[in-house]
């Protein structure tokens, strides 16, 4: 497993991390035994970065991570969690000192630790980035020793760019994959200049870029790929990266011939992300040990050729860009 510097923290993290949304909720039925085995498998494969949130399974994801860390002993992985989505309504006022402190205390308990490695504001409203007092509250939590670092998870590139203006923000988590390429245009360059870590989420476009789905693929009723297909529950960009499902399937078939040898499309898609030096870590999810191992193996693939990168860009421009580029 190769490592990259996590921004200005002095920590090094694995290029492939573990996205723990799927083991918490909203991806169909969750099997705890398989989830725990997936976490162990990822860590055994050299992964040392885990991303979770206080709302994933209402804290269940955090609790599963704590269980695995306790079982393993030794050096703790870098665990990033999130706060803010417990609010009944997303308002700037909701990100009060009292609420933030309450959310962080809950995560400290769930993760069985005295200090959180990284707390990310969980896709807060855009207007929050124009309220510096919110980030001053996070600075105080750092001073109190409750959190070591803080960052943000964003929906829009504009939010990511605004976040870079705050010196305390260590990391920005953003959707980035072959079907969501806009962050690479300007944001990546500025983030590199400020040595801000970039966490690439939804790296497989909710599984579209695994190449395993068909038009008649059925998803469980409690899977966001079913219940949030049109943004019914939260931002539609979180589901298939905002790409209309059928259009995404068509684009996947154009990508498929570019996947050479005996590798999988999922590994290929992850390797594409790692071609961008600005990306610190990509966080695919895994619900079983096989998926976790396969994700980690993406780092072993040879760099993609310039011709392949150009062809992926062309597919994006022709088939995907009209649906997503100016929305996020």
Mean pLDDT by 10 residues, the chain (328 residues): 96 98 75 94 97 95 96 92 96 98 98 97 97 98 98 98 98 98 97 98 96 94 92 92 96 96 95 98 95 96 97 98 94
| 302 in any annotated domain | yes
Position 261 scores a pLDDT of 84
Give the whole-angstrom CA distance, residue 149 versus residue 80.
9
Tokens of 321: 């860009």
Residue 60 belongs to domain spanning: 3-323
Position 22 scores a pLDDT of 86
Instruction: Give the single-character DSSP code of 93.
Output: G
Phi, psi for 106 (deg, rounded to 5): -65, -45
Give the whole-angstrom CA distance, residue 276 versus residue 269.
12
Sheet bearing 78-83, strands edge to edge: 18-19, 49-51, 78-83, 118-122, 150-153, 169-175, 197-201, 281-282
> What total number of domains does the chain contain?
1
Give the whole-angstrom CA distance, residue 224 versus residue 123.
17
Q: Look at residues 282, 272, 283, 219 and name the one whose alpha carbon lies nearest to residue 245.
A: 219
Position 28 scores a pLDDT of 67
| 132 in any annotated domain | yes
| 328 in any annotated domain | no
Q: Please name the helix (run of DSSP H) or strand (run of DSSP E) that holds residue 300, with its range, or none.
A: none
Check 56, 95, 103, 166 and give the catalytic one. 56
56 as an active site residue: the answer is yes
Give the whole-angstrom CA distance, residue 313 versus residue 44.
34
Give the whole-angstrom CA distance, residue 171 versus residue 35.
26
User: What is the value of pTM for the model shown?
Assistant: 0.95
Q: Indicate which CATH number applies to the domain containing 207.
A: 3.20.20.100
* Cα-based distances in Å from 221 to 28, 218, 247: 7, 9, 22
| 81 in any annotated domain | yes
| 178 in any annotated domain | yes
| 209 in any annotated domain | yes
| 232 in any annotated domain | yes
Give the whole-angstrom CA distance, residue 76 versus residue 119.
16
Instruction: Give the single-character DSSP code of 28.
Output: S
């Amino acid at each position: 497993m190769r490592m990259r510097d996590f921004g200005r923290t002095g920590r090094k993290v694995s290029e492939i991390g573990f996205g723990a949304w799927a083991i918490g909720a909203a991806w169909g039925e969750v099997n705890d035994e398989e989830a725990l085995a997936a976490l162990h498998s990822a860590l055994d494969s050299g992964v040392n970065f885990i991303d979770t949130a206080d709302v994933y399974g209402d804290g269940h994801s955090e609790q599963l991570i704590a269980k695995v860390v306790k079982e393993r002993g030794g050096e703790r992985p870098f665990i990033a969690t999130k706060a803010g989505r417990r609010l009944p309504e997303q308002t700037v006022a909701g990100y009060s000192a009292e609420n933030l402190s309450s959310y962080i205390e809950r995560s400290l308990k769930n993760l069985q630790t005295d200090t959180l490695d990284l707390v990310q504001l969980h896709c807060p409203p855009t207007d929050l980035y124009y309220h510096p007092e919110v980030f001053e509250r996070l600075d105080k939590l750092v001073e109190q020793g409750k959190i070591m670092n803080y960052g943000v998870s964003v929906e829009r590139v504009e939010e990511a760019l605004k976040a870079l203006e705050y010196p305390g923000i260590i990391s920005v988590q953003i959707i980035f994959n072959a079907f969501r390429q806009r962050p690479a245009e300007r944001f990546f360059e500025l983030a590199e200049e400020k040595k801000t870590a970039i966490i690439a989420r939804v790296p497989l476009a909710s599984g579209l870029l695994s190449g395993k789905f068909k038009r008649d693929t059925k998803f469980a009723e409690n899977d966001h790929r079913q219940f949030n297909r049109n943004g019914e529950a939260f931002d539609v960009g979180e589901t298939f990266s905002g790409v209309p499902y059928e259009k995404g399937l068509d684009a996947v078939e154009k990508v498929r011939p570019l996947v050479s040898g005996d590798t999988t499309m999922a590994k290929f898609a992850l390797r594409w992300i790692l071609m961008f030096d600005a990306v610190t870590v990509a966080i695919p999810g895994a619900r079983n040990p096989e998926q976790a191992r396969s994700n980690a193996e993406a780092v072993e693939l040879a760099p993609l050729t310039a011709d392949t990168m150009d062809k992926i860009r062309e597919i994006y421009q022709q088939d995907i860009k009209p649906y997503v580029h100016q929305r996020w």
